[in-house]
Amino acid sequence: MADIDRVRELLHGASKVVVFTGAGVSAESGIPTFRDALTGLWSNYEAESLATEAGFTADPSLVWRWYASRRAAIRQCEPNAAYHAITRLQSRVDTTVVTQNVDGLHARAGAKDPIELHGNIVRARCFAGCGWRGDVDALEAVDPGVPPHCPRCDAHARPDVVWFGERLSEVAWARAEAACRAADVCLVIGTSGLVHPAAGLPALARSAGASIVVIGPEATRLDDIAEVVLRGRAGEVLPLLVS
């Protein structure tokens, strides 16, 4: 309880907080990580064939079906207690949510304007790059196994996520960097700290003077820069911090 009390003190004295989340938080809601989802009919495919521009160019239908199956699985899941605790934290202190997850659970839990570094699986955008973006459900597809077309230029639509080899959104990255530089406390939740460049954000916050708190059941690459490490499931630890 001493560590819990210490983090409560840090949050109570903070003017600005960053919450940085990874796949571990979603896993507590039953959402498998990208590679863990390569089971069943998809077990014979390499991740790179399903999540690269080259893979989509080679077989748009295959990639679209893969993401449709993931969207269907995500819709069966609900935000867990950690997501709701983060939303409550936003109501009490100026808190920016930065996530590596693409499932949209932060928004579904009521979080305000989460920064989605790797995009959102329920959105689509133009594969040709005309600039169109929209909800997948708003697109009309004659065959759910065939990628719909961009309503602006009639090219294929693609999932609005960051594929292997692609750069993060410059706008999202700039917002995340600014939030980390301004933060007094950075809560790092459910991430191994292995996926770059996103994993560099807690270190940026630390270098700018923020107190780093790592929350998760297992050791991470970011434990060494943390002022406090709370071992446990996010859905159990977060509610204690904001109770």
Shortest CA distance to 66 belongs to which of 34, 24, 91, 90?
34
**Domain extent listing, the chain:** 1-30+79-118+168-243, 32-76+119-161
Q: What is the pLDDT of residues 1-27, one digit of tens each?
A: 689 999 999 999 999 999 999 999 999
The CATH superfamily assigned to 1-30+79-118+168-243 is TPP-binding domain (3.40.50.1220)
CATH class entry, domain 32-76+119-161: alpha beta
Share of the chain above pLDDT 70, in %: 93
Active site residues: 118
The yes-or-no verdict on residue 59 having pLDDT over 70 is yes
**More confident: 73 or 86:** 86
Q: Can you tell me the mean pLDDT for 50-57?
A: 93
Residue 8 tokens, joined: 């409560």
H runs (alpha helix) in the chain: 2-12, 23-27, 47-50, 53-58, 60-75, 81-90, 105-108, 170-182, 201-207, 234-242
* Joined tokens for residue 193: 């700290």
Matching residue, tokens 């002022």: 227
Which residue reads 């923020």 in tokens? 210
Q: Which pLDDT score is estimated for 215?
A: 98
> Among 41-55, 95-109, 218-232, which stretch is predicted with the lowest mean pLDDT?
41-55
User: Nearest CA to 165 among 21, 35, 48?
Assistant: 48
The number of beta carbons lying within 10 Å of the beta carbon of residue 182 is 17
Distance between CA atoms of residues 232 and 110, nearest Å: 24
Compute the average pLDDT of residues 180-185. Answer: 98
pLDDT at res. 125: 96
Cβ 215 vs Cβ 238: under 8 Å: yes
pTM recorded for the entire structure: 0.94
Both tokens of 40, joined, read 């069943």
Q: Phi and psi (nearest 5°) for 33?
A: -65, 170
Q: What confidence score (pLDDT) does residue 128 get?
A: 96
Strands 133-135 and 119-126: antiparallel
Q: Which of 23-27, 50-54, 140-144, 172-176 has the lowest mean pLDDT?
A: 140-144
DSSP 8-state code for residue 33 = P
Query: How far is the C-alpha of 220 from the C-alpha of 192, rounded, in Å?
Result: 5
Tell how far CA 41 is from the center of its chain.
25
